[in-house]
Amino acid sequence: MTAQIIDGKKVSQHILTQLTQELQKRQTHKLRQPCLAVVLLGDDPASAVYVRNKQRACESIGIKSCQHLLPASTTEAELLRLIDAMNTDDTIDGILIQLPLPAHIDSEHVLERILPDKDVDGFHPYNLGRLVVKKPLLRPCTPKGIMTLLSYYGVNPEGKKAVVVGASNIVGRPQALELLLAKATVTICHSATRHLAEEVAGADILVVGVGIPHFIQAEWIKPGAVVIDVGINRLPDGQLCGDVDFEGARQRAGMITPVPGGVGPMTIASLMENTLKAAVLHDKADDLSVVANPL
């Protein structure tokens, strides 16, 4: 069997086109242009590329973006002051702090400082909690993008065995909650998991986000499985690759995401969706029922 390739670039373009139309409608109705504020500390080249791609996506669909490119030596207190200022700035709808942050900064403390209704990354404990209680509001972008991809390709997780490899706050944990919400039977594997190959072999839907090139061997994969590779790893020769042995896995899987061009563009498309959603929440900020009755 040769797997169908799940084309994240194509699906993300489709979403961005829809968003462009919605943003044009807002303009017609004299509603504010949404604005995303992005903060990057330090000069990590990969983070700089991600931030640039987010800015380009904003520009391409009609969302304003403002960037704070700060030195790696920025203190936690300075970063918290900036977040406080952005929280109270009515012209800003979404706040994104690019991760990872330098080691001297407590990321959780920083992420908790963002107002939950401006938390377009969906990393605030409030937004993660909303997902836990089956009432998601702003949903973490990568898992949200993966659910959009599954839906686009007609993969319904209900009743399926889903295995998530990696238990990070950004990907693995919220991904497991999304799949659970979609009625899959979910297993989360992590560094202490025994018999990983056996767990992976049970997966109808496999999502991998560990950041280790070719970590998942092709022969572990259940024939016909849907394989979603979140990894973006740079090999010594400069090439990008995922966490799954793609060439081997595509001979066994039913569907598979490539790297690049799979999950990556979907993360950005979901961020744009969240930013529009945050702007709509702010439009309705006078209406206290908005928290009880999310969009």
Q: Is 54 considered catalytic here?
A: yes
Q: How many CA atoms lie within 13 A of 271 on its CB side?
A: 29
Rounded CA gap, 254 and 147, in Å? 17
Residue from 141, 207, 256, 269 in contact with ligand GUN (CB under 6 A): 141
Which span sits near ligand GUN by CB under 6 A: 91-99, 177-185, 252-260, 276-284?
91-99
Q: Which amino acid is at 150?
A: L
119 near ligand GUN, rule: CB under 6 A: no
Residue from 12, 65, 74, 142 in contact with ligand GUN (CB under 6 A): 142
Angle at which helix 45-61 crosses helix 263-283, to 10 degrees, equals 60
Torsion angle, alpha carbons of 214, 249, 7, 149, to 10: -90
Rounded CA gap, 246 and 223, in Å? 14
**Bond prior to 100 in cis (omega within 30° of 0):** yes
Q: Is 98 considered catalytic here?
A: yes
Which span sits near ligand GUN by CB under 6 A: 14-22, 92-100, 238-246, 285-293?
92-100
170 near ligand GUN, rule: CB under 6 A: yes
Rounded CA gap, 36 and 92, in Å? 6
Which span sits near ligand GUN by CB under 6 A: 56-64, 96-104, 223-231, 247-255?
96-104
Catalytic residue, candidates 93, 117, 119, 121? 121
Q: Which amino acid is at 173?
A: R
Q: Is 89 considered catalytic here?
A: no
80 near ligand GUN, rule: CB under 6 A: no
Rounded CA gap, 173 and 125, in Å? 12
147 near ligand GUN, rule: CB under 6 A: no
Residue from 121, 178, 204, 245 in contact with ligand GUN (CB under 6 A): 121
Tell me the per-residue interface mask from 208 to 247 with ligand GUN, x by CB under 6 A, - otherwise: ----------------------------------------
114 near ligand GUN, rule: CB under 6 A: no
Exposure string over 205-238, b if 16+ CB within 10 A, otherwise e: bbbbbbeebbbbebebbbeebbbbbbbbbeeeee
Nearer to ligand GUN, 74 or 142 (CB): 142
Interface with ligand GUN by CB under 6 A: which residues? 96-99, 121, 141-142, 170, 267
